[in-house]
Chains A and B, each alone.
Chain A
Amino acid sequence: MNLAHRTENGIDIVKLPRQLGMADAADARAALKDIINGGGGRMIIDLSDTEIVDSSGLAVLVGSLQAARKKDGDLYLTGMGNTVRALFELTRLHTVFQIFDDESAALRAWAEA
């Protein structure tokens, strides 16, 4: 999976594609793991293009969160649309992740962390 990735002030910023489901889960998991292992574990995932997520996709995000926290980092989510947010609320993952409206808010939070 080709994820859009850049680094800003030591924060890995990744934009996920439109769909994160069972077909993409293994590749996405591996790509995010590589980024986390190669960086400092401080990450922002931008979901503004992501319209379709299933439980496999959620597991990818949870696994990445755990990997980041093992490096004393964290994984912030941004750009979540109403439908994907509903899935996070149903699964209670909105209480596990720190979720911000946009990337600049997440970057500010990292700067203050």
Chain B
Amino acid sequence: MNSGAISILLESDPVEVAGLQARMLSLLAEAGLDPLASFQFACAIIEAVNNCVTHAYLGVGGQPIALSMLTGGERIDVEIRDTGPPLPSELLQPREMPGGEAMSGRGWPIIWQWTDAVSYRREAHENVLTLTRRLESAESPRETQ
């Protein structure tokens, strides 16, 4: 795998998020994830970024979202920062996938299911959500930090 750090700055615009997913797939593959694991982790990252757009910034465009991807050892960490209000603590607990025809509520379960660890901290008026994926995990156990 390749070690290193990559930083990506976005605005809270759905079109920018759309471009991010394809880019993440490529970056995660380069970092050593297989195609399915890359897709899974990219989905989790995009759901987290979607949450920044729709919940942290309530759909207001032009707000900053910063991604940092750190690779090295046996894991990939992706840190997502926004300047919205603090995340409600109940969002930071693993949750069940909603029932079949639900129109919403799948984002956080996707994040939890397709990462190996999720951690959150509030730092200098920013939300900092870190998603971790181990390089060799296919179906991954969860850990909360």
Contact = CB atoms under 8 A, between A and B. Distances in A.
Interface of A: 19, 21-24, 52, 54-56, 58-59, 62-63, 65-66, 82-83, 86-87, 90-93, 95-96
Q: Which of A19, A22, A62: most chain B Cβ within 10 A?
A: A22
Contacts of B46: 21, 54
A52 B21 contact: yes
Q: Is the interface of A mostly helix, strand, loop or mixed?
A: helix
Contact of A22 (B18, B97, B103, B113): B18
Interface residues of B, number: 30
Interface stretch (B34-42, B86-94, B125-133): B34-42
Interface of B: 14-15, 17-18, 21-22, 25, 35-36, 39-40, 42-43, 46-47, 50, 53-54, 97, 100-104, 106-107, 109-110, 113-114
Given A21-B50, A62-B103, A90-B97, 5 more contacts: A22-B54, A23-B17, A52-B42, A54-B46, A86-B39
B20 to A, nearest CB: 10
A50 to B, nearest CB: 12
A66 B101 contact: yes
B100 A19 contact: no
A93 B39 contact: no
Contacts of A63: 103
A87 B43 contact: yes
A21 to B, nearest CB: 5
B138 to A, nearest CB: 10
B47 A55 contact: yes
A87 B41 CA distance: 11
